[in-house]
Amino acid sequence: MNNIDRFIRALRELGFTAYESKVLACLSLRREALKVSELSVMTDLPRTKVYSVISSLNEEGLVNVHSGRPLKVSAPSPNEMASLLTERVIENARARLNVISRLYSLNLDEGLWLFERSIIPVRSENIISKMARIIINSAKERINLIISERNVHLIPKLPSVDIRAVLEASSIQSHLGIPKANCRVVGKHGIFMVSSERACILSDEELKSGIYVSEGSLLLALLNLFKGLYNSGSPIIS
């Protein structure tokens, strides 16, 4: 199975039609704007069908239609497409959870149960910050934070649980509202991490790429990473 076949299969599993999957995979892997006639040949689809598929994908914001003659179409690269579709999966999952909660009045954790025992690569600040909020809002016992001045604004109001934080600078402590005794300063670290007893999101401080973990052994390793940094840090002295 070649790359385009794998891409098409993945898109089909995400709910795209066979025609949509062919066109989207072809555009994304080529990484250039293509004419409808070129797409028709590459996907072995009639031009009328290609036009119909392009219209549908354009409405969903998954392709870019370039004005001019002849009409050309492009799509995000595979990595960008994966990030975009990951965000949509998360949004759809949370929307379905809200519907279930209204129907059955269940007191479920906000979306976290959907990702149990998972290891999910994530990209973009939007997705990483959303998953961090989910972890924080669903924590029952403890929250661990590794925060820099660059991303302290992403942390929402913290719940009343045991919170420990590894900070780039002592000034961050007042923004978070965490007791000084629960904070350690390690200087520049370049890490963004939010974890609870159930899950962890780990990223570079620019939030360009990261990983969500709720699988036992790797989650334990990341919690030990936090513990090591925390123990090596300097306490904030009043």
- Do 134 and 229 lie in one domain? The reply is yes
- Do 72 and 140 lie in one domain? The reply is no
pLDDT of residue 14: 79
In a domain, 108, yes or no: no
Give how many domains the chain has, as a whole number: 2
Domain ends where: 14, 48, 76?
76
pLDDT of residue 238: 67
Domain ends where: 76, 102, 125?
76
pLDDT, tens digit (0-9, with 9 covering 90-100), for 159-184: 889 999 999 888 888 888 889 999 99
- Do 127 and 224 lie in one domain? The reply is yes
140 CA to centre of own chain: 22
pLDDT of residue 113: 42
CATH at residue 22: 1.10.10.10
- Do 135 and 214 lie in one domain? The reply is yes
In a domain, 159, yes or no: yes
**Which run of H or of E encompasses 156?**
none
- Do 131 and 26 lie in one domain? The reply is no
In a domain, 181, yes or no: yes
Domain of 51 in residue numbering reads as 3-76
pLDDT of residue 108: 39
Tell me the pLDDT of the chain (238 aa) as tens digits. 577 788 888 888 878 888 888 888 888 888 888 888 888 888 888 888 888 888 888 888 888 888 778 888 888 888 888 888 887 777 777 766 665 555 444 333 444 444 555 778 887 888 888 888 888 988 888 999 999 888 888 888 888 899 999 998 888 888 888 899 999 998 888 889 999 988 899 998 888 888 888 877 888 888 888 898 899 889 988 6
- Do 218 and 168 lie in one domain? The reply is yes
pLDDT, tens digit (0-9, with 9 covering 90-100), for 127-141: 888 888 888 988 888
- Do 171 and 123 lie in one domain? The reply is yes
Domain ends where: 26, 52, 76?
76
In a domain, 204, yes or no: yes
In a domain, 148, yes or no: yes
In a domain, 102, yes or no: no
pLDDT of residue 208: 83
In a domain, 49, yes or no: yes
In a domain, 142, yes or no: yes
- Do 125 and 229 lie in one domain? The reply is yes
pLDDT of residue 100: 52
Taking the C-alpha atoms of residue 204 and residue 125, their distance in angstroms, rounded to an integer, is: 10
pLDDT of residue 107: 39
Taking the C-alpha atoms of residue 199 and residue 210, their distance in angstroms, rounded to an integer, is: 14
> Order of strands, edge to edge, in the sheet holding 34-35?
34-35, 72-74, 64-66
- Do 231 and 120 lie in one domain? The reply is yes
- Do 204 and 130 lie in one domain? The reply is yes
Cβ neighbours of residue 100 closer than 8 Å, sequence gap 6 or more? 106, 108
* Contact by Cβ (8 Å): 63, 54: yes
pLDDT of residue 145: 94
Taking the C-alpha atoms of residue 237 and residue 16, their distance in angstroms, rounded to an integer, is: 57
- Do 214 and 128 lie in one domain? The reply is yes
